[in-house]
Amino acid sequence: FVDKKDGKLALAYIYVAFIAVFLGGTAGLLQVLVRSGKFELPSFLNYYQVLTVHGVLLGLVLTTFFIMGFQTAAVSRTSGTFTNKQRTIGWVGFWLATIGLVAAAAMVLTNQASVLYTFYAPLKAHWVFYLGLALVVVGSWITGLAQAMRFVQWRKEHKGQSTPLLSFMAVVNNLLWFIATLGVAIEVLFQLIPWSMGLVERVDVLLSRTLFWYFGHALVYFWLLPAYMVWYVVIPKVIGGKIFSESLAKLAFMLFLILSVPVGLHHQFTEPGIDPLWKFIQTVLTFFVVVPSLMTAFSMFATFEMRGRELGAKGVFGWFKKLPWSDSRFLLPFIGMVAFIPGGAGGIVNASYQMNELVHNTIWVTGHFHLTVATAVALTFFGTAFWLIPHLNGRKLTKRANSMANCAGILWAIGMTIMSSAMHLAGLLGAPRRSAYSEYGGSEQAAEWISYQITQAIGGSILFIAILVITGLIIYLGFFAPKGEEEFPVAEVAPGAEKVPAALENFKLWGIIMIAVIIFAYTIPIIDIINNSPVGSKGFKLW
């Protein structure tokens, strides 16, 4: 069980996350309607403001707040109740993040920060927006620190034993988050805030974008890893099985730790000012970071098959029939896994340097991340919240709520298949991302995109209905569901799985490798950018 007091902290984070889901989802509906050409925004809203609300609330707020809540609960469940000091630190983080969120939201809502969730220069926001986001990040560091402290305490109390898998994974994710956010922290503190306060006249746009993407791709794995925590540890228990291999899971997470950051240049293939050699090197590293996802796919199939055979399944795919299809704790994450197959394949297309030329800045990329973060990750988070909230507040996920959750998952699958397929196809026809409806002066090519945009609006509207169901469920499970006990499922490792090698528990070793790979991948590109920068003192050279 998660201790009640720790549960309150986790719940506080999770409730903020779901307010973001509702508001961000509403902004998403406005997006698809505007892009269909059949609807105009009221005059007090502009397209980029709504797009910023959508991206910031769903890409940054839902994710960071849910992850902090889930990981707090996960560490408390598997490493033990937080000490008062650890819990207080956790709450300090929560309040800092929440104050930051309110400040940043106020700027976006008053149209002083319509700079999208990527917010790099040359788009400029009010400095309060940047400060607000910085507080969200610092808040998450502090709550992450509380989780790490509880984990370290467990290690001290259980010397020589292999650490609880879920806590181990949460700590790896916090470490990854900390190192990744250093890039964006430098960008915000030394470039964006002084620039938006008027203290400096110009900032180097290329440096700003490079620092952002140093953080920006690791950000996607910070989102993904908690979903993987559920897939590796919770799902096997829900289906009545065991974890295929703890060592494989820990190795996959350590590989993410060392490979998630030094791949940011794959977002900048089309950007002048970065030597193609370094873009190529980071392409290769990107292909390495695909490996732990392939390991995860292998492990999931193995888990399903082992359980299926236990239940008497025959043949290559017999296990498929033995899975608990009516259990929302399984179904929603499973839909997420299925979506991640085309989502991941699309990522490999994006990463393939030359092929990126075709899809970059088209709505194909939007299709890619709606399959990855907005389905694989989001549906796993929703399916988790539906049992985690009642677990934390002493209520029950009733049969009817479970059926509603399944309906939401199926609606999501239908809506997202329609919307994201239309996005991928329109992207291949050249339709740009991040743009409101336009006929581009009657261009024939632009005319081809319109039917896809209408299709996106149909898919997006179905997704919005799912969001209404999800919001209703969260309110019900949070405040009205019958009192009772709901399990926090944590699976055991399969008998016969090998013991975890000590090297996999050695954070120092993996931390050093991580820093070394980052230094290797980024030092020369950053020196080049600074040396060639048109901004700053003339003739200044770092090297």
What are the catalytic residues? 217, 221, 368-370, 433-434
Stretch that binds ligand HAS, among 236-244, 271-279, 344-352, 473-481 (CB under 6 A): 344-352
* Residue closest to 336 by CA, chosen among 230, 244, 218: 230
**Which of 5, 360, 465, 468 contacts ligand HAS by CB under 6 A?**
360
Stretch that binds ligand HAS, among 79-87, 145-153, 272-280, 296-304 (CB under 6 A): 296-304
Q: Which is nearer to ligand HAS, 196 or 268 (CB)?
A: 268
Asked if 207 is part of the footprint of ligand HAS (rule: CB under 6 A), the reply reads no
Output the CA torsion sign for 273, 275, 276, 278. negative
Asked if 344 is part of the footprint of ligand HAS (rule: CB under 6 A), the reply reads yes
Q: Is 97 exposed, middle or buried (0-12, 13-18, 19+ CB in 10 A)?
A: buried
Asked if 260 is part of the footprint of ligand HAS (rule: CB under 6 A), the reply reads no
Stretch that binds ligand HAS, among 11-19, 346-354, 385-393, 472-480 (CB under 6 A): 346-354
Asked if 286 is part of the footprint of ligand HAS (rule: CB under 6 A), the reply reads yes
Separation between Cα atoms, residue 9 and residue 139, nearest integer Å: 13
Closest residue by beta carbon to ligand HAS: 344
DSSP for 66-121, written as a single string? HHHHHHHHHHHHHH-PPPHHHHHHHHHHHHHHHHHHHHHHHHHHTTS--STTT--T
At 250, list the tokens: 């820990």
* Residues whose CB falls within 8 Å of the CB of residue 493, separated by 6 or more in sequence, listed in order: 165, 242, 243, 245, 246
**Which of 280, 301, 325, 520 contacts ligand HAS by CB under 6 A?**
301
Q: Would you say 30 and 106 are in contact if contact means Cβ atoms under 8 Å apart?
A: no
* Residues whose CB falls within 8 Å of the CB of residue 179, separated by 6 or more in sequence, listed in order: 218, 261, 514, 515, 518
Query: What's the Cα-to-Cα distance from 450 to each of 42, 106, 425, 454, rounded to whole Å?
Result: 22, 34, 12, 6
Stretch that binds ligand HAS, among 16-24, 43-51, 293-301, 394-402 (CB under 6 A): 293-301
Separation between Cα atoms, residue 421 and residue 257, nearest integer Å: 31
* Residues whose CB falls within 8 Å of the CB of residue 159, separated by 6 or more in sequence, listed in order: none
Q: Which is nearer to ligand HAS, 109 or 284 (CB)?
A: 284
Q: Which is nearer to ligand HAS, 335 or 466 (CB)?
A: 335
Asked if 266 is part of the footprint of ligand HAS (rule: CB under 6 A), the reply reads yes
Shortest spacing between CB 290 and ligand HAS, in angstroms: 5
Residues 374-403 binding ligand HAS (CB under 6 A) are 377
Shortest spacing between CB 214 and ligand HAS, in angstroms: 13
Q: Which is nearer to ligand HAS, 119 or 449 (CB)?
A: 119
The site for ligand HAS (CB under 6 A) is made up of 118, 220, 223-224, 266-267, 286, 289-290, 293-294, 296-297, 300-301, 337-338, 340-341, 344, 347-348, 350-351, 356, 360, 365, 368-369, 372-373, 377
